[in-house]
Amino acid sequence: MKRMITDVLGIQYPVLQGGMAWIADAGLAAAVSNAGGAGIISTGGRTTEYTREAIRRAKELTTRPFGVNIMLMAPNKEEIVQVVCEEKPAFVTLGAGNPVPFFAQLHAAGLKVLPVIPNVKLAKRVEAAGADAIVAEGMEGGGHIGVLTTMALMTQVIPEVSLPVVAAGGFADGRGIAAALVMGAAGVQLGTRFLLAAECPVHPNVKQKLIEAVDTDTIVTGYTLNGAVRGLRNPFTEKFVALENEGKTDKETLSLMTRGTNRLAAVDGDTVNGMMQAGQSLLPLKKIESAQVIMDALMRETRETLAAAAAIHI
C-alpha cells in the first residue's frame, strides 16, 4: 500500500494548501500547518529576499512542517532554489517547468520534493528521478491548468506509479477529499477554499467575489498561448477570451494583456481588470473563516463521507 502524505511530510491531516502566487504567504502557510495540514509559501513573482524572510517568518509562527512552492517559469528560479535550500522548510512543490534538474540539490539540503504533474508521462519521469511524492493537478483547479480533468488524472496516474499521489484541482470539501482517498490518493491539495481563510491576504474584493460566485462562474484564458489559466469571469477575462476566439489578435499582444493581472486582482483588489484565479468548485465558499475552522470542517466531512461509504454494499 502506498504511503499517505501524512507519513511523508509528518503532518496530521492529508491536506496541502495550494501555493497561490501573490497570495500564499507565511501567515497563511503557518495557519494551515497549525491547523494540521501542510501550508505552502508561494515564491511566484517574488524575490530571493522575500523568500528568505517568508520562510523565517513562517518558522516563527509554527513549529509544524510547511513547504515552499517554486514556479519554474520564474527567471530567478535558481536563486530561489538556493535560498530554499539554505532556509530549509520541510518540503517543496515545483511546477510550470522541468523540476528534475533541481532534485539533487534539494535532496542534499534535506528537503522532500513534490513535483506538480499534469499527466502520466511526467509522473513516471519524476518518479524515476527520485521525487518523494507527486501532486497530480487537474484542470478544475485555479491558475495554470493542464488538459486532463482531476478524475481522469487520478484514474490514470495512481495505478501507474508507486509514489504517494496528492490529488489537486477542484477539491473544496470533505466529500471530495474522501473520494480521492478512496481512489488511492495519498492526500489532497486545496487552493481556492483557503482563499476565504481569515489568514489569507488576498484582497477583500476578491473574497467577496468568491462568496457571490455561482458554480459556472469560472473561465479559462490563454488556450491559444499554451498557458491556460482558470479564474473568475469578469470584464477582463470576457474581453480576453473574445479576442482569443476572434483570432485576429497576435499572441504577443495577448500575452502582454495578461501581465500583472494576477497581482492586480489579488493584491490591489481590481476585480474588473485583474485575473481572479480560482477553481471550479465555488459553491462551498460561503464565508470567511479561520484556517482551523476550515480544516475542522473538511476533516469532519471527510470522516462522515468515508463512514457512509463503508455502509454501501454492492
**What confidence score (pLDDT) does residue 313 get?**
87
Calculate the dihedral angle through the C-alpha atoms of 120, 41, 201, 222, rounding to the nearest 10 degrees: -30
Backbone dihedral angles phi then psi of residue 163, each to the nearest 5 degrees: -70, 155
**Could you give the domains of the chain?**
5-201+283-310 (3.20.20.70), 204-266 (no CATH)
First-to-last alpha carbon distance for the chain, in angstroms, is 24
Angle of CA points 140, 142, 146, to nearest 5°: 55
With the C-alpha atoms ordered 128, 137, 101, 79, is the resulting torsion angle positive or negative?
negative
Q: Which residues contact 284 (CB under 8 A, 6 or more apart)?
A: 172, 173, 193
Q: If 0-12 CB within 10 Å is exposed, 13-18 middle and 19+ buried, where does residue 116 land?
A: buried
Q: How many CB atoms lie within 10 A of CB 213?
A: 18
Average pLDDT of every residue of the chain:
96
pLDDT at residue 201 in the model:
98
What local confidence, expressed as pLDDT, does residue 306 receive?
A: 96
What are residue 220's DSSP bridge partners? 230
Residues facing residue 218 across a β-bridge:
232
User: For residue 160, is pLDDT > 90?
Assistant: yes
pLDDT band at 1 (very low <50, low <70, confident <90, very high): low
Contact 70, 77 (CB under 8 A): yes
- Dihedral of alpha carbons 33, 282, 267, 242, sign: positive
pLDDT value for 3 = 87
The DSSP code for 105 is H
pLDDT tens for residues 258-282? 999 999 999 999 999 999 999 999 9
**With 90 as the cut, is the pLDDT of residue 238 above it?**
yes
Q: What would the pLDDT profile of 80-138 be if each residue is shown by its tens digit?
A: 999 999 999 999 999 888 999 999 999 999 999 999 999 999 999 999 999 999 999 99
What does each C-alpha distance from 267 to 201, 203, 207 come to in angstroms? 8, 6, 12
Condensed to tens digits (0 to 9), the pLDDT of residues 166-224 reads: 999 999 999 999 999 999 999 999 999 999 999 999 999 999 999 999 999 999 999 98
pTM of the model: 0.94
Report the C-alpha gap between 22 and 99 in whole angstroms: 21
